[in-house]
Amino acid sequence: MRNGSTKATVFHKILIANRGEIARRIMRTARRLGYGVVAVYSDADRDALHVREADEAVRIGEALPAQSYLRIDAIIAAAKAGGADALHPGYGFLAENEAFAQACRDAGLVFIGPSPEAIKAMGNKAAAKAIMQAAGVPCVPGYQGADQGDAVMLAEARKIGFPVMIKAVAGGGGRGMRLVADAAAFPDALRSARSEAQSAFGDPTVILERAIVDPRHIEIQVFGDRYGNAIHLGERDCSVQRRHQKLIEEAPSPAVSPTLRERMGAVAVNAIKSLAYEGAGTLEFLLDQSGEFYFMEMNTRLQVEHPVTEAITGLDLVELQLRMASGEPLGLRQQDIKLSGHAIEVRLCSEDVAHDFMPQSGKMALWQMPEEIRAEHALQSGFEIPPFYDSMIAKLISHAATRHEARRRLIHGLEQTVAFGVTTNQAFLAACLRHPAFAAGEATTAFIGKHRDGLLALSKETPSDIALAALLLYVSDPHAPPWRSGRTLAATFPLPLRIELNGSIHDLEIVRERDGGYVASLDGGEHRFEIDELGRDSIRFRSNGLMESARFFRDADRLYILHRGVTFAVRDLTLAAPVAAAAAGSDGKVRAAMNGRVVAVLVKPGERVAAGQPVMTLEAMKMEHVHAATIAGTISAIDVAEGEQVTTGKIVVEIEASEGAA
């Protein structure tokens, strides 16, 4: 497996076989080192920033944009068309595909990553566990056999003991992963995990593992060169997750002592030395409550969360990748690696936290990133977020001398982030960072599940938010009296308003008083405002002796507001016609909860179903989402077919209610 050559590998132009923020991130380092860069794009990414910023860009997209980045032949052809002699896979898509690395080798392209043999050995979770077990590395008990039959898998799950984890052998990012509590739920979870793994990675094979209760998710960043040198760059704590996908990562881990770091680092370095591993890699472990750690998998690529390691080590990990690929020796010894301060990263995702983290797509009307901390993204105001890819749209990273300072800086950065037009997890991330358990460094993989209700409550609108929304609707109306007019001879008449705020409807009144102030009346309470400044997109006001500011933006019939780090979408329904529609779901029509692709229709016309029974599965942003019957009854119509792309709100299944059913 070792590359025996000690000669330099020369390349001048790099094709980046990826999209979005990671493509831009790789471009930045490549250009600094004097390399040309070529981008690839699907039809959905025709006007994307990574396309605009490359020296050349080659179209590879067709009808299903997500699948375009998985077409090995098209990407190899794009490299040749763009004059590239090297290829960086980024992360996701084909980054851990040995066939892709081999195709690059066969085409005479330098693959900026490990060898196909190393990817095959460690990119497959089952093979990686076998290698680690042979090397004496502690592994999570489980089943990684070749027999993938349903009956065998269920029998093996019973042997392991529930709860068990189902994991796709290829790829990562929580896709193709399910936590199964009991045998009854196992068949559906197995089908869903396989389907998701096939869609995301082109391989439906899965393994089973014992579910370790309430662990930490700790990973060790490693690098190796072709001359047998290897080091680790410390650990990252990636415990705050939803749907087995990381949301917050930090380095170093508050749970890892210097002694434990040395132990885990030595295991990781010995592992990659045994593989003669070249390039960047990450070994992932579960750390239990007693301090024992268990190997889960190895990612043979750059990680999404690599910026926190860069922050505390002062190293550019993409630069190290390029230098390793060009044949340079590592040039670093383990004793050269010094960790400085603390870094935390959050993943800003286009998703609706209140509705089970449902992915969101659409136009980002106004997009502004904070300037005080590092932000990695590939968006601009007016850009469309397509439904085909991962829901992560940006990463925000803070670095400071202490963990508490880094946490405070990141909270402030989130409060300054403007993301108007598509629902994001912005306020939820800030709530996580503020939570006492996270602040104390106590968060495990159970953190969100344990504290979800409280975290959601912190990002809910309050009566004062509703009153502020009404004020901004009133004063930003072009026909409203000038706010600077000050005192008046007579107060204006109360103006009744009906507004929709984040999906909820509220009735209130607002009035301009004689002293020039404003009063919004809501549910028997009054909220008084004095405006100090009113700009095109910002307001500074006083309420109850407190002076505050907020950002806002009008986009068609929507008014977006950012106040205290929480974004609200407001609509004025005062003059809207009353809606005589049936209560949500009570009409028996199941509607698509997001833009996505139908991957499974689980019922047939004429079939009787119970309320809550799964009827259809949609895939959006690489995750599957089961849609259930809203009432008990008989399936009267199925309005979609498997493989069809649907939009939010489309009726997909119709149910005729059973007699007497509510």
Contact 456, 395 (CB under 8 A): no
Q: At what angle do helices 150-160 and 186-201 cross, to 10 degrees?
A: 110
Considering 386-390, 429-433, 478-482, the range whose residues carry the highest mean pLDDT is: 429-433
540-591, pLDDT tens digit by residue? Answer: 999 988 999 999 998 877 899 999 999 999 999 988 766 544 444 568 899 9
> At 481, is the secondary structure helix, strand, or coil?
coil
pLDDT at 582: 41
Q: Is the pLDDT of residue 399 over 60?
A: yes
CATH no., domain 216-458: 3.30.470.20
The CATH 3.30.700.30 portion of the chain extends over 463-572
Asked whether the beta carbons of 359 and 351 are under 8 A apart, the reply is: yes
Rounded Cα–Cα distance for residues 11 and 9 (Å): 7
Residue 571 CA neighbour count, 13 Å, CB half: 11
Residue 131 binned pLDDT confidence (cut-offs 50, 70, 90): confident
Given CATH 3.30.700.30, say whether it is the number of domain 463-572. Answer: yes
Tally of CB atoms within 10 A around 292: 12
Amino acid (1-letter code) at residue 87: L
Q: Distance of CA 124 to CAs 138, 212, 238, 299, 305, Å?
A: 17, 21, 21, 9, 21
Amino acid at 569: A
109 phi, psi to nearest 5 deg: -100, 140
Q: Confidence band (pLDDT; 50, 70, 90) for 485?
A: low
Instruction: Decide if 229 contacts 304 (C-beta within 8 A).
Output: no
Six token digits for residue 651:
């009726």
Mean per-residue pLDDT over the chain, rounded: 90
Q: Is it the case that residue 3 has pLDDT exceeding 60?
A: no
Q: Which two three-digit tokens encode residue 244?
A: 């087995």
The rounded distance, in Å, linking the Cα atoms of 498 and 114 is 59
* pLDDT per residue as tens digits for the range 630-646: 899 999 999 999 988 88
φ/ψ of residue 378, rounded to 5? -145, 40
User: Where in the chain do CATH 3.30.470.20 domains reside?
Assistant: 216-458
- With the CA atoms of 529, 533, 537 and 541 taken in that order, what torsion angle do they form, in degrees rounded to the nearest 10? -30
Between CA 377 and CA 21 the distance in angstroms is: 4
Contact by Cβ (8 Å): 57, 67: no
Q: CA separation (Å) from 492 to 61, 478, 481, 487, 534?
A: 58, 17, 10, 11, 20
Q: Between these two residues, 255 and 544, which has the higher pLDDT value?
A: 255
Residue 4 has pLDDT above 70, yes or no: no
Q: Beta 177-180 vs 164-168: how paired, if at all?
A: antiparallel
Q: Position 612: which residue type?
A: G
pLDDT cut 90: percent of the chain above it: 70
Which residue shows structure tokens 């404003």? 518
13-112 maps to which CATH number?
Answer: 3.40.50.20
**Which pLDDT tens digit goes with each residue over 200-230?**
778 899 999 988 889 999 999 999 999 999 9
Structure tokens at 155: 């029998």
For the whole model, what pTM was predicted?
0.85
pLDDT in tens, 146-195: 899 999 999 999 999 999 999 998 766 678 889 999 999 999 999 999 98
Residue 266 main-chain phi, psi, to 5 deg: -65, -40
- Cβ–Cβ under 8 Å, residues 253 and 235: yes
Euclidean distance between CA atoms 285 and 413, whole angstroms: 30
- Pick 141-210's CATH classification: 3.40.50.2300, 3.60.20.10, 1.10.1040.10, 3.30.1490.20: 3.30.1490.20
Q: What is the 3-state secondary structure (H, E, C) of 406-467?
A: HHHHHHHHHHHCEEECCCCCHHHHHHHHHCHHHHCCCCCCCHHHHHHHHHHHHCCCCHHHHH
Residues with catalytic function: 301
Return all residues near 34 (Cβ < 8 A) that are at least 6 apart: none
**Two structure tokens written together for 430:** 């800030």
Angstrom CA distances, 249 to 272, 275, 292, 320, stand at: 23, 27, 20, 21
pLDDT at position 375 is 98
How far apart, in whole angstroms, are the C-alpha atoms of residue 180 and residue 157? 9
Per-residue pLDDT, 646: 86
Pairing of strands 504-512, 518-522: antiparallel
What pLDDT does residue 462 have? 86
Phi, psi dihedrals of residue 547, rounded to the nearest 5°: -95, 130
Name the phi and psi angles at 15, rounded to 5: -90, 135
CATH code of the region 589-657: 2.40.50.100
Count CB atoms within 10 A of the CB of residue 546.
Answer: 8
What is the distance between the alpha carbons of residues 389 and 381, in angstroms, rounded to a whole number?
A: 19
State the amino acid at position 337 in one-letter form.
I
Q: How many Å apart are CA 404 and CA 164, to the nearest integer? A: 35
